[in-house]
Structure 1
Amino acid sequence: MTSTSLLNTSRISRPGLVFFHTSPAHIATFNRLRDELAPGLAVGHIVREDLLCAVRKAGTVSIAVELKLEEALNEAVRAGATRIVCTCSTLGGVAERADVPGAHVMRIDRPMGEQAAWIGGRIAVCAALPETIGPTLSLVEDEIAKTGRFTTVQARVFDGVWEDFREGRLRDYHEGIAARLRDVAMTADVVVLAQASMAPAAEICGDVGVPVLSSPVTGFKAAIADMTPVVLSA
């Protein structure tokens, strides 16, 4: 998907809360969270798969990608968005730094990073894409600096699982991650799942003896913390 279009999944013509994704798979996840945590809240979605593809091809976030992301965010504002949540951890930091007058832009994983920093100890940051590790490590280290706590951070990339996600084999994707989490947890005090798509793996692996943090729920709660849900008539 290379054009920016706002998918409105509410009955409000101009939703104020918009989620920016790099995969359409996340739309159902965040609609479900909306229904559970804030029924009636107007929510919209933008999907730009092309931006993550460009990052993967180049191996880094180029200036061209930064500009396209900023343009997409501002287009969302023109469509009525007042709060935009970037659910892509690879682009989250870029989204936060973008010049987007008229809207508050946040990354979905910042509350998770803050939580991991306060738990402290040995933090294991896990990702299915190598391009995501750097941005998530920077986020966690930024939050650690705010706490002044002593921690160690290790990075783990789970090779071979991303193709399952790309091909829509979500069960295989999550089971592959869950199998690796059990090993990671043996040398960690807290495990961070860098990508929102990894979240269901935490439920599959069960109790591994340490907290396994994911971003969708905590990020959604932070996004709506000071918003008043609009109650819609049936």
Structure 2
Amino acid sequence: MAVAFIHTDASHAARFDAILAALAPNMRAAHAVAPHLLARARRDGADSVRDELSRLLAEHADAAALVCTCSTLGALAESLGRSAGVRGAVFRVDRPMMEAAARFGSGALLVASLDTAMAAAEALFAECAAAAGVEGAPETLQCGAAWPLFEAGDAEAFAQAVADAVRARVQRARAEGRAFGCVALAQASMAPAAALLADLGAPTLTSPELAVERALALSRAA
């Protein structure tokens, strides 16, 4: 097995398979889907799913690269990879994107629709910015009203709600004489909103494709 993914929403498997098929049609991938882990982590904290997440990681120990596509659980997955016996790299889906966003420092707009995802994204941004020697915290945008649309299975309405919120914030900033260097959509589920923001005037960064590209590079180097 070359690449594996751990998801907390079933729709992500098809999304990542499509990206993988476009970039490396012959590459094999495995998917584990555990939506209850996100629900429990939101209710009781990420540490409450430590043991079960570790077991999931261990089930894919032969993967050359393993991606956790849940922003809320990504940091925990990275910390457990070695102890779970995964032979390859374990990384969170938003890490490659956040490394790119962090270069913009305070010029970045960080967007999330869950408070747990926003907290995780801000911590990762700070880590990546420090590693790059960049100062300044990003501006943040919480799209909490959009998340119930995703939970209801209306991905199109969710993407539109995220895009509308981003556009409103960018327009407000421009009215104040400010401009963002980039917009970073912190959750993989938000990626479809990027197509609705193509005319925004600032790059909209998403995590899925960048994460797959890194996973492929790691698997080929293994």
Deviation, 1:184, is 2.6
Structure 1 residue 149, shift from structure 2 partner: 2.1
Q: Spell out, residue by residue over 1:36-58, the C-alpha distance to the aligned partner (whole angstroms, 9 max, x if none).
A: 00111011100010100102223
How big is the shift at 1:143? Answer: 0.6
- 1:134-153 equivalence runs, <5 A: 134-153=119-138
Shift in Å, 1:183: 2.1
Quick one: which amino acid aligns to residue 222 of structure 1? Answer: R
The equivalent of 1:115 in structure 2 is: 100
Corresponding position: 1:37 with 2:27: no
Residue 68 of structure 2 aligns with which residue?
Answer: 86
Paired position in structure 2 for 1:3:
none
Work out the number of aligned pairs and report it.
Answer: 211
The letter of the residue matching 1:74 is A
1:66 paired residue among 50, 60, 67: 50
Name the residue aligned to 1:57: 43
Aligned equivalent of 1:177: 162
Q: Distance in 1 between matches of 2:129 and 2:118?
A: 16
Deviations 1:153-177 (A, max 9, x none): 1222102111111111111000001
Partner of 2:194: 202
1:103 alignment counterpart: 88
- Distance in 1 (CA, whole Å) between partners of 2:63 and 2:217 is 16
Which residue does the alignment assign to 2:12? 26
Quote the offset at 1:103 in angstroms.
Answer: 3.1
Deviation digits for residues 6-41 of structure 1, max 9, x if unmatched? xxxxxxxxx231111000010110110011001110
Question: Residue 120 of structure 1: CA displacement?
Answer: 3.0
Q: Which has the higher helix share?
A: 2
- How far did 1:225 drift? 1.0
Give SS of 2:107's match: strand
Give the letter for the 1:45 counterpart: H
SS at match of 2:78: helix
| Aligned-pair identity (%) | 32
Q: Which runs of 5+ in 2 are unaligned?
A: 174-179
Looking at structure 2, the residues matched to 42 and 185 of structure 1 have their Cα atoms a distance apart, in angstroms, of 40
Q: Is the 8 A contact 2:98 2:124 kept in 1?
A: yes
Whole-angstrom CA distance in 2 between matches of 1:148 and 1:84: 27
Tell me the TM-score normalized by structure 2.
0.89
Relative to the length of structure 1, the TM-score reads: 0.85
User: Which whole-Å CA distance do the structure 1 matches of 2:68 and 2:127 have between them?
Assistant: 18
State the match for 1:75 in structure 2: 59
Cα distance in 1 for residues equivalent to 2:162 and 2:31: 26
Cα-Cα RMSD: 1.6
Distance in 1 of aligned mates of 2:181 and 2:55: 40
Change (3 A) 1:87 1:47: same
Correspondence list, 1:127-166, <5 A: 127-166=112-151
Q: Which digits, 9 at most, give the CA deviation of each residue in 1:57-94, with x for residues without a partner?
A: 23x31x331221111101222xx433211111111111
